[in-house]
Structure 1
Amino acid sequence: MLKKIALAASLFSATALASNAVQADVKIGLLGGISGPIAAMAPPMLDAAQLAFQQVNEQGGILGGQKIEAVVGDSACNPQNGVDSATKLVNIEQVVGLVGPHCSGSVLAVANSVTVPAGITLITPSGTSPEITSLEDKGQVFRTVPSDDFQGRSLARTLLDLGTKKVAVAYLNNDYGSGLANAFKVEFEANGGELAGYAAHEEGKASYRSNLAELSRGGAETLVIFDYGDGTGLTILRQALENGFFTNFLGGDGMKSDAIIRELGAENLTTFTASSPVGEKSDSLESFNEAYKAAGGNPDAIFVSNSYDAAFLMALALEKAGGDAAKVSAAMTAVSNGEGESVGPGEWTKAAELIAAGKDIDYKGASGDLNFNKAGDVPGSYGLFKVEGDAFALQQALN
């Protein structure tokens, strides 16, 4: 009987250890627009985030040797899909932090319905709507990309500086499109620009020729498109080119998609430019670029440095918080507020040792210094890109 009890105890102990081993992985959600209007953009962004987690795991892991397990979900760049996927990640997969969603409408819906009520910190690499700034989020929502209030106004000023005083604007009727268009409109008109046309459009129609014909009646030669280059934005640009409605075209960051070059051809895009966030030259950016290239990625792809930073920051914040999800939001600010010893991309061992020693760290990201304000927003820089060959090339910085 004693032998049986001892054997049972031994088996129970082994089972418990096995269970603990299974539970030792730290789950972090990656919620991207894998399907839907940014489907071509999402994979490089997810790869960049996975690179950050891979570096952590290769350098001893998180929270005393545990491994980060990335659990991927698809928001389809849609609020309801985002909520459904986030609910699964938080309630079933039990993630302790969320990197994403990629699209603004999903960020707003997921924060309000899932992560804030659950006390889970969310950091998006590409949710740019100004509405995110004013979320009642208890300090739990962050982003590593500037607000579209900044992008829209910068685009307006840059166009005016280039001598373009009259434009028409076509924008997707969602949180991303309307937020960016409104910021552009306010700044453009306040500085003497004229909007010859300004109209929202719905997603997924086969033809936008009537919309474009109406916008062109104001006599503008330039059409500004705030939409996604993998979706409706591509259709609008194609039909505008085919019908000669406009001569010049400017897209927001959602239009900087390789799908446009692939589908329309570089020879037809000589008058098309698009904006995109750009990291300032730094050792951190160079370090990320080298690591991402070595992993097979293209560091010029949109939002990849922002995605890497979001994932690495989430890992740093979890380490600082000791794995306590309730303390991650405060830790997110603490590891990047400009105080303490500088830590760059990939320097996980250094960061973990400093945190263990009770010392402050300051993460210097590939996309910038990332000093969050009270709303979880960051400053940043945007550039204007032209099509050269089979890729986008930086033309100039936005002012």
Structure 2
Amino acid sequence: MKKVHLAFAATLLGATAMAAPAHADVKIGLLAGVSGPIAPMAPPMIDAAQLAVQQVNEQGGILDGQKLVTVVGDSACNPQNATDAATKAVNIEGVIAIVGPYCSGAVLAAANSVTVPAGITMITPSGTSPEISRLDDKDLVYRTVPSDDFQGRALARTLLERGTDRVAVAYLNNDYGKGLAEAFKSEFEERGGEITAFAAHEDGKASYRSDLAELAAGGADTLVIFDYGDGAGLTMLRQALENGFFENFVGGDGMKSDAPIKALGAENLTTFTASSPVGETSQALELFNEVFKAAGGDPDAIFVTTSYDATFLAALAIEKAGGDKTKVAEALRSVSDGRGEVILPGEWRKAKELIAAGTDIDYEGAAGDHDFDERGDVPGAYALFKVEDGAFVVDAEMK
């Protein structure tokens, strides 16, 4: 297999230039968080998506041998940027489906303003807010990552099981931070835990020392941070360590970033853990890990499995729908509903032949079985990670 194009800048700038003649292209939008608070997470996610596209094109192409092409846009984890990027992808580029955006607020804005009115199916690999489940989306918005309602509650149960029953909670004042924090708080308190302080904070401040002092005033020795490790979450973690406000630190998936390790040093993060979705051990996950690693990707990077699955599923749905955008959502459910012949990551040629023959297929992804419920949500698995030898490693399963 050819090496996946891992030069991120070239991927972004050349995403549309790599296509065959325009009449042969089948386009899907890839609304990534190229800039903004999760920018360092975006390159491996894009690489995973491009791997799925490469496999499609190397195994016969899509529909009548046409090329599948990604149109990359920058949602910047910002509602306005996401709306602009989605508008361009839908109205100018003519995409049939969209993978992304990467952040919850961007998903909500793009869906409400652009994709739902246009009848375009959207699959986000990392938009986790419970608010996405409540969208009036005409059955057009899906995700390959579980809702934060599950993550927040699982994290609460895990901390309590480990003997942490008194915490302070700081959360970023956006759809992601608020949704995760509220799910955590509900479960933690229902099960007897005490939250000594629960406070939102704004992004982009130079100092959070006064916020941290107020959070620490309740006497908890553990601070739970629902933010991004490449943004305000990093600043808050650094200043909490510098000033000795707390002894232990816990983050959600947004905090599982290499940025804190690089900026603060692994030796200073011995009491820091973070929750994150993980692929359930399976043949599909092993197959993806092997191919992605051989192509130069990092299988352990966050959201690479969900990004790959979202893209491969979009291609399968377009194939099943015969390229008719009005039928993509229905097709998406039918290729992953637990019925039919199993399709594993990379098995495009097999899937294409079965679809052509009218045989039902069931995609089993790297991130798990994507049996979408009525809201377009999927079940999933999470783990709690710690920092060891300069990298995140699994510390405990979360249930």
Amino acid at match of 1:298: D
Q: Distance in 1 between matches of 2:367 and 2:381?
A: 9
Q: Distance in 2 between matches of 1:177 and 1:85?
A: 23
Q: Distance in 1 between matches of 2:159 and 2:301?
A: 24
- Secondary structure in 2 aligned to 1:326? helix
Match of 1:9 in 2: none
Q: Percent identity?
A: 73
Match of 2:212 in 1: 212
Q: Distance in 2 between matches of 1:395 and 1:162?
A: 11
Q: Distance in 2 between matches of 1:86 and 1:233?
A: 28
Work out whether 1:257 is the aligned partner of 2:263. no
Q: Distance in 1 between matches of 2:220 and 2:108?
A: 34
Match of 1:286 in 2: 286
Q: Distance in 1 between matches of 2:295 and 2:64?
A: 26
- Secondary structure in 1 aligned to 2:369? coil
Match of 2:269 in 1: 269
Match of 1:17 in 2: none
Amino acid at match of 1:167: V
Match of 1:241 in 2: 241
How many Å apart are 1:295 and its aligned residue?
Answer: 1.1
State how 1:352-363 maps to structure 2 within 5 Å: 352-363=352-363
- Secondary structure in 2 aligned to 1:170? strand
Amino acid at match of 1:272: F
Deviations 1:54-76 (A, max 9, x none): 00000010001001111100011
State how 1:193-212 maps to structure 2 within 5 Å: 193-212=193-212
How many Å apart are 1:350 and its aligned residue?
Answer: 0.3
Match of 2:315 in 1: 315
Work out whether 1:34 is the aligned partner of 2:11. no
Structure 1 runs not aligned, ≥5 long:
1-19
Match of 1:51 in 2: 51
In angstroms, what is the RMSD of aligned CA positions? Answer: 0.7
Q: Distance in 2 between matches of 1:245 and 1:261?
A: 19
Q: Distance in 2 between matches of 1:386 and 1:352?
A: 41
Match of 2:135 in 1: 135
Match of 2:10 in 1: none
Aligned length: 380
Query: TM (normalized to structure 2)?
Result: 0.95
Amino acid at match of 2:121: T
Match of 1:150 in 2: 150
Amino acid at match of 2:291: A
The list of structure 1 runs, each at least 4 consecutive aligned residues, that deviate by more than 2 angstroms after superposition, is none
Match of 2:366 in 1: 366
Deviations 1:206-239 (A, max 9, x none): 0000000000000000000000001010000000
Deviations 1:83-132 (A, max 9, x none): 01111111111111100000000000000000000000000000000000
Amino acid at match of 1:71: V
How many Å apart are 1:360 and its aligned residue?
Answer: 0.3
Match of 1:14 in 2: none
Match of 1:346 in 2: 346
Amino acid at match of 2:372: F
Q: Distance in 2 between matches of 1:295 and 1:396?
A: 29
How many Å apart are 1:23 and its aligned residue?
Answer: 1.5
> In terms of Rg, which structure is larger?
1
Q: Distance in 1 between matches of 2:21 and 2:131?
A: 41
Work out whether 1:69 is the aligned partner of 2:72. no
Q: Distance in 2 between matches of 1:302 and 1:21?
A: 34
How many Å apart are 1:21 and its aligned residue?
Answer: 4.2
Q: Distance in 2 between matches of 1:326 and 1:24?
A: 20
Work out whether 1:297 is the aligned partner of 2:276. no
Deviations 1:286-327 (A, max 9, x none): 010011101101100000000000000000000000000000
Amino acid at match of 1:206: A
Structure 2 runs not aligned, ≥5 long:
1-19
Deviations 1:7-41 (A, max 9, x none): xxxxxxxxxxxxx9421110111001110100110
